[in-house]
Amino acid sequence: MYNVLIVKYGEIGVKGKNRYIFENKLIKNIKNMLKPIGTFKVYKEYGRIYVDLEDYEYEEVIEEVKKVFGIVGVCPGVRAEKDYDKLKELALKMLEEKIEEGAKSFKVESRRGDKSFRLTSQEMSLDIGGYLVSQVKDRIKVDVRNPEIKIKCELRESHIMVYSDTVPGYGGLPLGTNGKAMSLLSGGIDSPVATWMVAKRGMEIEAIHFHSYPFTSEKSQEKVRDLAKILSKYCGRIKLHKVNIVEIQKAIGLNCREEETTIISRRFMMRIAQRVAEKRFCDALVTGESIGQVASQTIQGLTCTNASVTLPVFRPLIAMDKSDIVSLAEKIGTFETSIIPEEDCCSVFSPKKPVTKPRLERIEKSETELDVEKLIQDAIDNIEVEDIEF
pLDDT tens-digit series, residues 26-48? 999 999 999 999 999 999 987 78
Does 175 reside within a domain? no
Regarding whether 221 and 105 lie in a shared domain, the answer is: no
Does 381 reside within a domain? yes
Which residue among 143, 170, 197 closes a domain?
170
Max intra-chain CA distance, the chain: 87
pLDDT in the model for residue 143: 96
Q: What is the CATH number of the domain that holds 359?
A: 3.40.50.620
What is the number of domains present in the chain? 2
- Residues whose CB falls within 8 Å of the CB of residue 291, separated by 6 or more in sequence, listed in order: 297, 298, 299, 302, 318, 319
Count, in order, helices (H) and strands (E) of the chain. Answer: 14, 15
Rounded CA-CA distance 229/388 in Å is 6
Q: Answer yes or no: is 34 a known binding residue.
A: no
- Residues whose CB falls within 8 Å of the CB of residue 303, separated by 6 or more in sequence, listed in order: 360
Mean pLDDT of 87-97: 97
Q: Which of 233, 112, 225, 234 is nearest to 161 (CA)?
A: 112
pLDDT in the model for residue 348: 61
Regarding whether 228 and 377 lie in a shared domain, the answer is: yes
Regarding whether 185 and 118 lie in a shared domain, the answer is: no
Q: Answer yes or no: is 210 a known binding residue.
A: yes
Residue 3, pLDDT > 70, answer: yes
Q: Answer yes or no: is 266 a known binding residue.
A: yes
Do 79 and 161 contact (CB within 8 A), yes or no?
yes
Q: What is the DSSP letter of 360?
A: H
Does 49 reside within a domain? yes
Could you tell me the CA-to-CA distances from 271 to 265, 278, 361 in Å, in that order? 10, 11, 17
Q: What is the CATH number of the domain that holds 12?
A: 3.30.2130.30
**Which pLDDT band, with edges at 50, 70 and 90, does 216 fall under?**
confident
Q: Answer yes or no: is 122 a known binding residue.
A: no
Which residue among 130, 145, 170 closes a domain?
170
Q: Answer yes or no: is 236 a known binding residue.
A: no
- Residues whose CB falls within 8 Å of the CB of residue 3, separated by 6 or more in sequence, listed in order: 52, 53, 54, 77, 78, 79
Q: Answer yes or no: is 187 a known binding residue.
A: no
Regarding whether 260 and 112 lie in a shared domain, the answer is: no
Regarding whether 308 and 208 lie in a shared domain, the answer is: yes
Determine which helix (DSSP H) or strand (DSSP E) holds 204, and give its type and residue range. strand 204-211
What phi, psi does 339 have (nearest 5°)? -90, 0
Regarding whether 187 and 147 lie in a shared domain, the answer is: no
Regarding whether 204 and 159 lie in a shared domain, the answer is: no
CB atoms within 10 A of CB 270: 21
Question: Strand, helix or coil at 338?
Answer: helix
Regarding whether 230 and 340 lie in a shared domain, the answer is: yes
Q: Answer yes or no: is 349 a known binding residue.
A: no
Give tens-digit pLDDT for 248-266. 999 999 999 999 999 999 9
Regarding whether 161 and 217 lie in a shared domain, the answer is: no
Give tens-digit pLDDT for 154-172. 999 999 999 999 999 999 9
Regarding whether 336 and 196 lie in a shared domain, the answer is: yes
Note down the domain range covering 337: 180-388
Give tens-digit pLDDT for 298-356. 999 999 999 999 999 999 999 999 999 999 999 999 999 999 987 665 666 677 788 89
Mean pLDDT of 47-68: 94
Which residue among 170, 193, 224 closes a domain?
170
Regarding whether 264 and 120 lie in a shared domain, the answer is: no
Provide the whole-model pTM.
0.91
Report the mean per-residue pLDDT for the chain. Answer: 94
Residue 384, pLDDT > 90, answer: yes
Do 270 and 328 contact (CB within 8 A), yes or no?
no
pLDDT in the model for residue 265: 95
Rounded CA-CA distance 323/313 in Å is 23
Regarding whether 255 and 354 lie in a shared domain, the answer is: yes
pLDDT in the model for residue 47: 75
Does 301 reside within a domain? yes
